[in-house]
């Protein structure tokens, strides 16, 4: 159970963080799931798929944090629009 090939922009030699438990793992121990607020692929320990509780609450909590991050970014953008008198600032 392992990720064997990744897009070229991901450095496979480094340990990567599981978005569910926060542990650093080699790519071989990870599985692909949701994407984060920036559109990047989130990876989680392959072992989390075995436990329904970890699987369900883990991805749900991750989705909540990503949704909050998106809402914060949107609020910041609105704030910048207010400062710029209606002009979008990127």
Partner 1 sequence: MGSVFFERRPLTGRDVLSWDIARHLYGRQLQGTVVILTDNPTGLHAALAKQWRRLGRAVQRERAATLDAVLIQELTRTLSRMQNLTFSTQSPFDELADVYILDKEHLNVVPRGTHTFYATEVMDDEQLKDIGEAVAYNGLVVTYR
Q: Is there binding between residue 4 and partner 1 (CB under 8 A)?
A: yes
Among 6, 25, 37, 47, binds partner 1 (CB under 8 A): 6
Q: Is there binding between residue 71 and partner 1 (CB under 8 A)?
A: no
- Integer Cα distance of 19 and 10 in angstroms: 16
Q: Alpha helix (H) ranges present in 6-51?
A: none
- Integer Cα distance of 25 and 48 in angstroms: 13
Determine contact, residues 63/55, Cβ cutoff 8 Å. no
Among 14, 21, 23, 34, binds partner 1 (CB under 8 A): 34
Binding residues for partner 1, rule: CB under 8 A, are 1-8, 31-35, 39-41, 44, 49-50, 52-53, 55-57, 59-61, 63-64, 67
């Amino acid at each position: 159970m392992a990720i064997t090939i990744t897009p070229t922009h991901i450095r496979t030699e480094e340990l990567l963080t599981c978005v569910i438990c926060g542990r650093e793992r080699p790519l071989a121990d990870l599985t692909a799931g949701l994407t984060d607020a920036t559109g990047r692929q989130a990876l989680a320990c392959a072992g989390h798929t075995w436990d329904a509780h970890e699987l369900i609450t883990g991805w749900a909590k991750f989705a909540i944090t990503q949704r909050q991050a998106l809402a914060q970014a949107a609020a910041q953008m609105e704030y910048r629009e207010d400062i710029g008198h209606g002009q979008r600032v990127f």
